Amino acid sequence: MTKTVVAVDGPAGSGKSSVSKAAAKRLGFAFLDTGAAYRALAWHVLDAGADPEQGAAVIASLASFDYSIGTDPDGYAVHVGETDVTESIREPRVSAAVSAIARVPEVRTHLTELFRSIIRDTDKPGIIVEGRDITTVVAPDATARILLTASEEARMSRRSAELATESASDVAIALQKRDRADSRVVDFMTAADGVVTVDSTNLNFDETVDAVLDVIRTSQEK
């Protein structure tokens, strides 16, 4: 049986991770959070005391980047070497550093290869892969390709509801800044040819999961 690959892209806070995870659980599929890898590399660069703005230092750190991530949608751990970084990669200092390392072409090539090998190796009937360039670069031949969007206002209020320790305005500013920096590298605000847009602005969580499952079902029938 051929493996179903589902590619999901979109801006920060659009629901990529939570919605993809829920859809993967419903389908018995694996789930891959590619943003976690970019975050883990940013963590690794900071941990080594290197400057994430220095492309050469970031490229040099790839050699010692011993990364692993689980693909179980019920819970996955992210490791760099022996260190469990599942929680620490969500810290604001990592979020603030990640766009700088993500714009280095050598980083993108390295991580794209890693994602493709994880997709190849999964033993589940399918995998949902979410990020910024999955529909266009990592898996342009995916069975289903989805751009998950939501208004900036909805994305910011969802994200600030999650991060109780920070003020809503700090979260909003950081999110806008990261989206702006990221969209200079990859276009995740407009759907490429053949990519289906799911706008979750006026959908609740379950309705968004259902909309994504519908797109997957329709693509599998083709």
Residues of each annotated binding site for ATP = 10-18
Say which entry of ligand ADP, ligand CDP, none residue 73 contacts (CB below 5 to 8 A, set by partner kind). Answer: none
Say which entry of ligand CDP, ligand ADP, none residue 149 contacts (CB below 5 to 8 A, set by partner kind). Answer: none
Nearest residue (CB) to ligand ADP, 62 versus 198 = 198
Q: Which helix (H) or strand (E) holds 126?
A: strand 126-131
Q: Two tokens at 203?
A: 């959908």
Say which entry of ligand CDP, ligand ADP, none residue 71 contacts (CB below 5 to 8 A, set by partner kind). Answer: none
Residue found by looking up tokens 């360039």 in the block: 133
Residue numbers 23-42 binding ligand CDP by CB under 6 A = 34-35, 38-39
Residue numbers 92-111 binding ligand CDP by CB under 6 A = 98-99, 102
d(CA 149, CA 162): 18
Minimum gap (Å) between residue 112 Cβ and ligand ADP:
19
> Which residue has the closest beta carbon to ligand CDP?
35
Backbone angles phi, psi at 94, to 5 degrees: -75, -45
Q: Is 149 in the site for ligand CDP (CB under 6 A)?
A: no
d(CA 213, CA 37): 25
Bridge partners (DSSP) of residue 4 are: 126
Say which entry of ligand ADP, ligand CDP, none residue 208 contacts (CB below 5 to 8 A, set by partner kind). Answer: ligand ADP
Among 22-30, 60-68, 69-77, 126-134, the segment contacting ligand CDP (CB under 6 A): 126-134
Among 182, 196, 200, 216, binds ligand CDP (CB under 6 A): 182
Which SS3 state, helix, strand or coil, does residue 127 take?
A: strand
Q: Two tokens at 37?
A: 């890898």
d(CA 170, CA 117): 37
Among 19, 80, 133, 145, binds ligand CDP (CB under 6 A): 133
Q: Which of 18, 16, 9 is nearest to 73 (CA)?
A: 18
Q: Which of 84, 139, 99, 136 is nearest to 115 (CA)?
A: 139
What residues make contact with ligand CDP under the rule CB under 6 A? 12, 17, 34-35, 38-39, 98-99, 102, 131-134, 178, 182
